[in-house]
Amino acid sequence: MFTGFFYALRRHGLDVSLNEWLTLMEALRLGLHGSQLTDFYRLARCILARSEADFDRFDLAFAEYFHDVESVRELPEEFLNWLAEAAAQREIDKDAVDAQFGGGLNLEELKKMLAERLAEQTERHDSGSKWVGTGGISPFGHGGYNPAGIRIGGPGRHRSAVQVAAERDYRDFRQDAALELRQFQMAFRRLRNLTVKGEGPKDQLMLDETVQATCDSGGFLKLQFDRPRKNDVRLLLLFDSGGSMWSYSRLCSRLFHAVHEASHFKELKTYYFHNCVYDDLFTTTECSYRESEGTSGVLSKLNSSWKILFVGDGAMAPEELLRRGGSLDYYRTNQDPGIVWLRRFAEKSGHTAWLNPVPRERWDYTRGSHTIRTIQQEIPMFPLSIDGLDAALHHLMAPR
């Protein structure tokens, strides 16, 4: 009966294997879903979504397939307001309450009674034994005591699974989503796993490897050690500023803040340019020559250990990239074409990459497609997405 759900997951890009699907069917046979839609939602997501990056696709498929399934109704907003503040709990004789309610109603009977209360109740109640309220012995509410009730309100309000799925709480976790500050920070945090291992004795305990080796040896403890990693990441970050890049200013600002908040760099330098790199690099986004450094001087301070990351849309007139004097600055003439300067950066370090905020599928026909293709011949280019940033960082850290 859930075959349609399987294909809905596939349509939304969730690569569910047959083994995972059969595992879900076995879990249903064992009754692990509790015969509740919300419990089934949690069970299925636990089995079929391999990481939080899949949660949004799972939710979209779930909401699409189960959209017309009747589930527990939401409490009216008026009830939620009544339950927002709990009254002080009075002294309760729990033995007496257990005798009154214990061993009585089952879940279906409680649900039926709750529906009746919701239809009849007209005002807030506290410290009672019947109505939906707080601080009493009623089976419905919170802040009191009842051995066989339904807690409503308080820190854990219930929502139906379809409504939970439709809210798309995990939109920002998707690997193809636009990057927010948190995604930038998480991506640069991975550099901790990419830093080089130092020389010297193997005196750092490797927990995961120790667990695996102990399991492999039938439970006999086998400690695994390795050389500690050292922070040896030097990053030069070059931002395109102004012009067509204003459309991506907020995105680039998030990247800038994430980089400067990261603690994984032995050395970090940031400069700006407009459209392409020429004789000068700027230290502020205004690209003022009063706040600039000669590009030759910046290059002379680099060596092959530096990682160089350009951020820009690569969109400009061909002559800006390919001709002497192509710079848009009326008062200055660049003696070397911009492509020559880009080539010098690529030759200075084999660890050079370009992040483009324009989606990859538009590179071949967007404004500046010719210059984008030309830049790609000199510097590997990646889209400024989660997957693209991850691929760019791995490219920067790959051994040469």
Helix (H, G, I), strand (E, B) or coil at 225: strand
Q: 347 with 302: CB under 8 angstroms?
A: no
Q: 152 with 158: CB under 8 angstroms?
A: yes
What DSSP element (H or E) covers 142? Answer: strand 140-142
CA neighbor of 193 nearest in space, from 237, 158, 233, 159: 233
Radius of gyration of the chain from Cα atoms?
30
Q: 139 with 113: CB under 8 angstroms?
A: yes
Region label for 55, one of left (φ > 0), alpha (ψ between -120 and 50) or beta (otherwise): alpha
The pLDDT, as a whole number, for residue 130 is 73
Tell me how far apart the alpha carbons of residues 381 and 375 are, in angstroms, rounded to a whole number: 8
123 burial (CB, 10 Å; 0-12 / 13-18 / 19+) is exposed
Give pTM, 2 decimals. 0.51
Tell me how far apart the alpha carbons of residues 203 and 208 are, in angstroms, rounded to a whole number: 15
The pLDDT, as a whole number, for residue 359 is 87
312 burial (CB, 10 Å; 0-12 / 13-18 / 19+) is buried
399 burial (CB, 10 Å; 0-12 / 13-18 / 19+) is exposed
SS (H, E, C) 74-94: CCCHHHHHHCCCCCCCCCCCH
What DSSP element (H or E) covers 209? Answer: helix 207-216
Spans of the chain, pLDDT less than 70: 1, 35-36, 52-53, 68-111, 125, 127, 133, 135, 139-200, 229-232, 262-264, 330-331, 400
Helix (H, G, I), strand (E, B) or coil at 263: coil
